Amino acid sequence: MGRGGARAAAIVALVGTAALLAGCGESRHANDQRPQVSTRVSVVIRPDQVVVQPLKIAMGPEKFQEIPQNEDHPEPPLKNSKGPLDVTFVASNQTGTDSKLKIQGSAGSGLESTEPIYANSPGSFQFDLPTGSYTITAVGVPDAKPVHLKVGTYRAPSQNDVLTT
């Protein structure tokens, strides 16, 4: 075997090794649990109060988030059920004043919405909230009474849900 043959053999060996390493499989498998679906919370800012629905989340399976084909089947347990809950707040500012929502945790940690919710307009934002009690206030609307939101320990994967885009 000459110099050209040795070089060709080395290239073939290198390509073969790379193909072997690339074909070892994906680190994510199709039967791994999918992450939880974001829990939606509706917030209405009124001149006299902040209204939140529901007032308690992650207390058990969400009644309105299960699709009918899965309603009689138990949820598979979530392996990492200690983490924070992914919450999407859908807000409506029904005042004449621009506002932000301030979410104050029981431990004193405060999260504030990153963008203002403009007067008479909707807005949405997302937070990861650990288990606990939270007070939600409308910054810039002094007469609006705050409301309390409770986040429980229940976490469910979206394993049984059909995901659509």
Q: Which domains does the chain have, with CATH numbers?
A: 36-151 (2.60.40.420)
| pLDDT digit string, tens, across residues 59-100 | 877 665 555 555 666 665 555 567 788 999 999 999 999 999
- Mean pLDDT score, 7-35: 68
List C-alpha distances in Å: 37 to 76, 77, 108.
14, 14, 27
pTM of structure: 0.69
| pLDDT digit string, tens, across residues 26-52 | 565 566 666 677 889 999 999 999 999
Q: What integer pLDDT is reported at residue 123 of this predicted model?
A: 94
